[in-house]
Each structure stands twice: as C-alpha cells, then as structure tokens.
Chains A and B, each alone.
Chain A
C-alpha cells in the first residue's frame, strides 16, 4: 500500500536524444494530424518525467545482447540513478545523484601500471577501442542487504587485461577510483566521523578479474553511464557485494600481493577482500540471508554467489568462505 512503484520504461521506449532535442520539429512534423501531435507531446512528457532523476545521456551504438544477462526484470532508470552508494559524493543514497552531476568525465585517462608489459595512460577511447559493447543485465547485491537488477552496458574486463599483457608476477589486479576533493565533496568527511581513506581502492584475484562475468561497464539502459553510477568507466562483479564493483576507475595496477581494499581497511571485521555474496556468512551487525529487491515489499532469499554459483563456485573450491569473507 505504501510502496509506489514508478512506471517502468524499457530502454526501447526511451526517446532517442536527437529526437528528444528536436522535439519541436518532431511535433511540428507530426502536426499533420492532431492525434499524432498529441501523442508526441504526451510521449515527451513521459520521458521528461522519467528523466527527473538524472538527465538521459547519449545512446550507445552497436550494443549487442549477451547470453550472460539475467532474465529478471531490471529496476527502473530512476531507481538505479537515485539510490547510490558513492561515498565520494556523500553517504546518503540520494546525494550522489545531486552532487555528481558536474563530475568531469571527459577527457578521462586510465593509468595501467605494475606487473605488465603495456604500462601506459590510456585515454578512455583507447580502452574502448576494438571492444564490442554488450548489454549485461546483472543482479546487484549490496552488502547492506538490498539488491537491484541493472542493465549495464560493458565489455569483459578480461579483454582489456589481455591487451595490457600482465606478466607471470601479476597475481591480483588493483583498481583505484578518482580522488578529486574539489569535485567530490564527500571526501571531506574526516576519519573521526567515519570518513574513508581516499582514494577508494578495490582488488580482484587474477582469475576473478579474467572471469567472463566480470565487466567494465560504461553504460546503463543502452545509454552512457550517469555520473552517480560510476561514470565514465566502472567495474561490475555480479557475484560479489556491490562495494567490490569500483566506480570511476582511473588506475589499474597488476600486483603480486593481495591489495588492501578500502572497506577492509575501514573495518576488517565486517568487510573482507573476497566479499562474495554468501547467505550463510552474516555481516557482524546484520543478516545476509535475505535481501530487499528495491521496489518490492517482501524480502528475497539471498542466493549463494548471488545466483552465479554455477559459473563461479569453482574459483573458490576448497576455500573456507567463512574465513575468507
């Protein structure tokens, strides 16, 4: 009764940006019949209403579908772009959507460093060069026991890693988020009040990073990624808690030793390196057995590896997942 479900707008129904910008012409052209014009205006209104959350971005072209996509119904654009954990822009869920709007994402460089042959500062265009973008509809499970289904657009991280030619010493991949206090007001929170140590760092074991499910995402719902969702380029590892999927990546480093990720650094008892979704290992302060899918009233049972066990369980064969949480 209390939950208002915003109307769903499939990406196929979202008006193309060019069309939207030319809506006057569009309306004029359609003025042949009053009915057609009225329909267009109403349609534009619907788009405007839906885009209150975040301005719609440019459509990405040549996006292919992927057999690795989940068949579940994705959350709405509004839900995905107004309910964000991006502490560089504040700790409230709605603050990234308000404070990240001016983040400068062009030009953007990703520095590749460490145990690899192709150390360089790559322009975003170079990172994307030769990659086929895919729709990857993934379940996203936050460590705070809520979840969403998100239609990312991206490509396998493995493709990019291969291009970097990591050496045999590269056992882990370390990722770093942009740290720019001028643009990121949330980074001013002092550690005494719970502020994290910046920049935000995450890491994956090499086999996790090379897994076909692990993607670098650059889009959402077929459009360029909104800033609050980690633009211009972010990681998504669907079988791990959300904090592993680092946003706005500026550095990728191949290392021999396991990196210290930010949340483990903040509170090692509560957040580990692996952070695999696991209903049997509770967070010290709350249960991980169930989750609330955003937009639903009744909670769902949390699935082992967020339901991706068939694909990834073998990575952890013989490992004590209670100790390696």
Chain B
C-alpha cells in the first residue's frame, strides 16, 4: 500500500508544475502569463507548507501514523515550488527589468541583476517576507536526508525543523502584503496556518503541564510522541 502511495503522491505533487507548463505552452493562461506563473508557484508553495504542517495534527487526531512517511517528500515539494517561485521573481521580475547596455550575455548583466535584487529585498517589505520564508526553508531542505538527521541528532534536528513555522508564517504575511485590496485568499491561508500552529501551542502547553520526564529522542521519524 505505502509502496504505491508514495510514488502516487510524488506524481500528484508534480501535477501543478506540469499543468502550469502545459497551460503556458498552449496559451491557456491569462493575458499576463508571467504574472500567472509567479502567482501559481507562490500559492502552491503555501499549499505544500500547509500540507506538511498538517501531518502531525493528522497523526495525533486520527492515529494514522503512516502519513509521517510522506512528510519529508511533501516538505521538499514545498521547497521545490518555493524555489520555482523565487526563480520567477529573479527572472521574470528582476532580470526582465534590466537594461543590458552590453547585451544580455555579459558580466554586467550578472552585476546588474545582483544590484537589482539586493536592495529590492530590503526596500519592499513583502519581498523581505517572501525572502525570509524562502531562506528559512533552505536549511530544512539541506538537512532532510537520513544522514543529516543522524549527524545532527534527533533533538537538534527537530529544533531546527521548527523553522517551518517561520516559513509558513512569513509566507502568509508575504501573500497578505502583496495583494492590492482583496485579502480573502491570504485570510484563508492565515486561518489554516493559524489553526495548524495553534495545535502545536495547545500540545506544548499540555505537555508542559504533564511535566513528564522527557525521553531522549534519537530518531524523530520513529518516535510516536509528536515531533511537532
């Protein structure tokens, strides 16, 4: 069952990017396809972050422990879509806005691109937020291998991976600050992320009240006391 489920989820997770590619190449996007690509990759990053964050609550509420086996893959897909989203910003927004006085293939292009991205990240708050969300996902992707978990030790690994809370929160704020007026969709994502993080707060409190001696954790993928 799991053996089939995992590749199925993998293929399904590639669905959005496959659809985007097809739609872009066949003219099924809007009159501003570049903006559609930017929006869609961003929204899918948030969706995958939400799915990742719902794994632990799902396990605890339903006892369906098998879902933990897909968490890493789903989390890496969040990073994958986040990377695509960052690339759309770098290429479609920044690169496409350069001057190219020495032609496109020039050292000057690289320098201008860097000069265009750097100040933008600190000048525009919603870009700052988006960049925060992305950079907080980088160490998570880098330490997603079994070898890295072993090297870091379960407890430290788990601490580090709480950065996903930062990524999701910053991602929602990034979305919220970007829209012009209609905030219905950012509000919806804020609610979902709020509820998912709310579970953690409640459990942390309950856990603290129990004040039970904490078992040393070595492999967060194995233990059944939640590594939320």
Residues of A at under 8 Å CB distance from B? 2-4, 6, 75, 78-79, 82-83, 87, 91, 93-94, 144, 146, 189, 193-196, 266-267, 285-286, 290, 292, 294-295, 297-299
Contact = CB atoms under 8 A, between A and B. Distances in A.
A7 B183 CA distance: 35
A282 to B, nearest CB: 9
A146 B93 CA distance: 12
Q: Which of B92, B125, B181, B187 has the most CB of A within 10 A?
A: B181
Contacts of B184: 189, 193-194
Which of under 10, 10 to 19, 20 to 34, or 35 or more describes the interface residues of B? 20 to 34
Contact of A292 (B27, B34, B126, B187): B34
A254 to B, nearest CB: 29
Contacts of B125: 285
B32 A91 contact: no
The 9 nearest A-B residue pairs measured at CB = A83-B31, A91-B182, A4-B27, A79-B31, A194-B181, A299-B97, A2-B24, A194-B183, A194-B182
Interface in B10-42: 24-27, 30-35, 37
A298 B96 CA distance: 4
Given A189-B182, A290-B97, A3 B177 contact: no
Contacts of B181: 87, 91, 194-196, 266-267
B100 to A, nearest CB: 8
B124 interface: yes
Contact of B30 (A93, A194, A267): A93
A144 B182 CA distance: 14
A146 to B, nearest CB: 6
B30 A297 contact: no
B32 A4 contact: no
A91 B34 CA distance: 18
Given A2-B33, A146-B32, 15 more contacts: A2-B24, A2-B34, A83-B32, A91-B182, A189-B182, A193-B182, A193-B187, A194-B179, A194-B183, A285-B125, A285-B126, A290-B97, A294-B31, A298-B96, A299-B97
A3 B26 contact: no
B111 interface: no
A294 B181 CA distance: 22
Given A189-B184, A193-B187, A83 B33 contact: no
Contact of B124 (A83, A285, A297): A285
Contact of B32 (A87, A193, A285, A294): A294
Interface string B83-117: 00000000010001100000000000000000000
Nearest to A299: B97
B209 interface: no
A83 B187 contact: no
Nearest to A2: B24
B225 interface: no
Contacts of A83: 30-32
A317 to B, nearest CB: 30
Nearest to B37: A2
